[in-house]
Structure 1
Amino acid sequence: MSHSASQGGQPPTTPRGGKVAVIGAGFYGSTTAQRLAEYDIFDEVVLTDIIEGKPEGLALDMNQSRPVEGFETKVTGQTTGADGGGYEAIAGADIVVITAGLARKPGMSRMDLIEVNAKIVRNVVENVVKHAPEAVLIVVSNPLDEMTALAAKVSGFPSARVMGQAGMLDTARFSNFVAEKLGVPVGSVRTLTLGSHGDTMVPVPSACSVNGKPLAELLPAEEIEALVQRTRNGGGEIVALLKTGSAYYAPSAAAARMARAVAEDAGAVMPVCAWVDGQYGIDGVYLGVEAEIGSAGVRRVVERDLSEAELAALRAAAEAVRAKQADVASL
């Protein structure tokens, strides 16, 4: 643990420790690395990419922001080769965030990316296993639920150590839309989505509130449904506006927060894509649920009381995802 004093001679309030790696230095990966570095809780953040020089250049730039932002975490950039060369930079990482893969273009669904991203994720995971065999994996590549299942299969890691980022992002989008609709601070809004990232996303109205008041008392059902639909299409709406590339500010915030929850080992409860084995009467599938997160990954899936309609929707989402996860295993 390093205890170097920050500017002004004040030692940091918490000791820094551990190493986190981000695979893929596109907008999503580089922004995630920046957020992780600025937390100032890690010794080192490693950023890798297959585009020669890109991760090194971004790391140099981020390190030069340290005196301004007042953090000491070191950022290391490393180009990786098709043969796995360069992955030694992630050796011993405690957490690995996998952002590698193609982003969506306008008119594409997340599922359209499945074959090309399956090959990329498989290759990345094989290299991670070689160099960081004890790491907790956080997968963000699309289609999310399927790539998380694939990463678990390829890695052979205990399922608790492999999770996907989707629920944090979907609830953030939902909360933001509710706050804008009602003209209230985002901090007063609590929402929850479970299920898959995409068409079978399951909003949980019974868990949604504003300043502690049930959302259903503040908005008519059809307006809540419209916000849910906008949340389901949240990524697509951004892709259509950007025309090149997809969302990364909110997604990277969500992924970084999950990595922080692992690092802090405090049992934070958040919606993530996790292995469900019996909870909600659902068996053997990666699915968006609430989970308690610690240094070894998912400590436990947190089951809440769902309405019959919510539970039915979650079970339907599980079956839809299960079929696709079986397909992806063969890619």
Structure 2
Amino acid sequence: MFAARQALRSVPRQARLFSSSAPARTKVAVLGAGGGIGQPLSLLLKVEPLVSQLSLYDIRGAPGVAADVSHVDTNSTVRGFTADALDQALEGAEVVVIPAGVPRKPGMTRDDLFNTNASIVRDLATAVGRVAPTAKILIISNPVNSTVPIVAETLAKAGVFDPRRLFGVTTLDVVRAARFLSEVTGQDPASTPVTVVGGHSGVTIVPLLSQSSFGKGVQGETLSKLVHRIQYGGDEVVAAKDGAGSATLSMAYAATVFTNALLRAINGEENVVCPTFVRSPLFESQGVDFFSSNVELGPEGVKTIFPIGDLSAEEQALIDACLPELKKNIEKGKSFVNAA
């Protein structure tokens, strides 16, 4: 409960976003800055006080995005880089955020995105391993359950993989869980944090509502509907946008929440805890060596991986459904790299 609350307390409220009192110390690169997630993410990071330099890269559009957000009156500097300048974009980056890839369209699952996004993420990871091997890497590109293992295998082939520095951003599931639970309970979302574990698609998303002071009171059909909405909330946005996109704005916001948490930990703040998809021992004995759970962040990245705690019968059933699917997703990512 404490960990989930801490995760949501990292939300960059307006007063925090425009504060000038915090030190600006970290260079951040966004790979895919011209896309539907990349543009709002770049704007939010421009007003993040812990960012000193913002390096924006994409195969098209990044210099324009950089020129636009550079006019925002915060202390960080911004540069945009074209398709042939990836290495320059990565030079000196301490945190690399990767939202690059194609978005979901109606009827598509995250796995449908695999063939295109897998190649994009592999090539970007290769460049990070070559130019900025000690950077913390935050993966947004879907399907996260597979793209994070792709990055891990790519970096391992290059001899620079450090599991402490690789994160799958699953914060949107946490944000959605808090919001959707608040709609059921009538509470402020800030009062209804929920730890979400597992992965970042469909049945692999496991909200631990029984560990929430408000969530544990939700039962029966209401509980089933709430869990389903948390697991498949992205489909609501895809359908509502009617083929014009997916959850880009909420994803950019959620990615900023996690980036802010990591930046605070890098800068020495203690007890920064939030769920993220990382190399994990929790279910390694079952062939699942990546898993999202509450993680304490530190200056080097992952500091402590926490167990998932006591589960209700319903949550245990969700974990039982999650693990086989997550194992397949992880193996798919590893096989893609190793077959190349």
* Same fold? TM cut 0.5: yes
Q: Secondary structure of 2:108's match?
A: coil
Distance apart, 1:311 and its partner CA: 4.3
Q: Which residue of 1 aligns with 2:37?
A: 28
Q: CA 1:227–1:107 in structure 2 vs 1: closer, same or farther (change >3 Å)?
A: same
Q: Which runs of 5+ in 1 are unaligned?
A: 1-10
Distance apart, 1:228 and its partner CA: 1.2
Q: Which residue of 2 aligns with 1:115?
A: 115
Separation in 2 of the partners of 1:17 and 1:76?
Answer: 16
Deviations 1:114-173 (A, max 9, x none): 11111110011111112111101110111111101111111121111111011x211211
Q: Is the 8 A contact 2:86 2:127 kept in 1?
A: no
Q: Which residue of 2 aligns with 1:19?
A: 27
Q: Which residue of 2 aligns with 1:296?
A: 300
Separation in 2 of the partners of 1:125 and 1:147?
Answer: 10
Deviations 1:214-256 (A, max 9, x none): x233x33210210111111111110111121111222112212
Q: Which residue of 2 aligns with 1:89?
A: 89
Q: Letter of the aligned partner of 2:66 in structure 1?
A: A
Q: Which residue of 2 aligns with 1:170?
A: 173
Q: Which residue of 1 aligns with 2:124?
A: 124
Q: CA 1:86–1:114 in structure 2 vs 1: closer, same or farther (change >3 Å)?
A: closer
Deviations 1:82-122 (A, max 9, x none): xxx33212212111011111100111000101111111100
Matched, 1:263 2:270: no
Q: Is the 8 A contact 1:171 1:192 kept in 2?
A: yes
How many residues were matched structurally? 306
Q: Which residue of 2 aligns with 1:222?
A: 221
Q: CA 1:330–1:62 in structure 2 vs 1: closer, same or farther (change >3 Å)?
A: same
Out of 267, 270, 274, the residue aligned to residue 278 of structure 2 is 274
Q: Is the 8 A contact 1:276 1:282 kept in 2?
A: no
Q: Which residue of 1 aligns with 2:202?
A: 199
Deviations 1:150-207 (A, max 9, x none): 11111121111111011x2112112111212332211111212211212221121221
Q: Is the 8 A contact 1:279 1:303 kept in 2?
A: no
Q: Which residue of 1 aligns with 2:58?
A: 49
RMSD of equivalent CA atoms: 1.9
Q: Which residue of 2 aligns with 1:154?
A: 154
Matched, 1:136 2:141: no
| TM-score, length of structure 2 as denominator length | 0.84
Q: Secondary structure of 1:103's match?
A: coil
Q: Is the 8 A contact 1:48 1:80 kept in 2?
A: yes
Q: Which residue of 2 aligns with 1:6?
A: none
Distance apart, 1:328 and its partner CA: 2.2
Q: Is the 8 A contact 1:23 1:48 kept in 2?
A: yes
Q: CA 1:88–1:244 in structure 2 vs 1: closer, same or farther (change >3 Å)?
A: same
Q: Is the 8 A contact 2:288 2:330 kept in 1?
A: no
Distance apart, 1:330 and its partner CA: 2.7
Q: Letter of the aligned partner of 2:197 in structure 1?
A: L
Q: Letter of the aligned partner of 1:21 in structure 2?
A: A
Q: Which residue of 1 aligns with 2:76?
A: 73
Q: Which runs of 5+ in 2 are unaligned?
A: 1-18
Please say which of residues 228-237 and 296-305 is displaced more in the overlay: 296-305
Q: Larger C-alpha radius of gyration, 1 or 2?
A: 1
Separation in 2 of the partners of 1:216 and 1:12?
Answer: 39
Matched, 1:63 2:70: yes
